[in-house]
Amino acid sequence: VDAHWYQFPPMNPLWHAILGFTIGVLGLVSCIGNGCVIYIFTTTKALRTPSNLLVVNLAFSDFLMMFTMAPPMVINCYHETWTYGPIMC
């Protein structure tokens, strides 16, 4: 971290907890909602249209993004620092 950022006071730990909780809830809701969209699309043949394929592709990419990034972000908020090292950063 650049020395410039150390001139500011640290953030209140309560804000880290609130942010971690919010990201966790949004990640859970996103995974459930996008999972439902993907499941309904794959089980209902009438929905297999080109425009719905775009929606499912967006749901799939959002599902993967939230499934892989929400847990590390929540852990990051609760520890108040990145714990996975430079390779995962």
- Higher pLDDT, residue 43 or 84: 43
| Structural domain for 74, as ranges | 13-82
Q: Is residue 38 in a domain?
A: yes
Euclidean distance between CA atoms 23 and 56, whole angstroms: 23
Structure tokens at 3: 């020395």
Residue from 22, 33, 37, 34 nearest 70 by CA: 22
Give the Cα-Cα-Cα angle 84, 26, 79 (nearest 5 degrees).
30
In a domain, 65, yes or no: yes
What's the number of domains the chain is made of?
1
In a domain, 6, yes or no: no
Residues 6+ apart with CB under 8 A from 88: 72, 82
Q: Residue 4: inside a domain, yes or no?
A: no
Whole-structure pTM value: 0.81
Tens digit of each residue's pLDDT (9 = 90 or more) over 26-65: 999 999 999 999 999 999 999 999 999 999 999 999 999 9
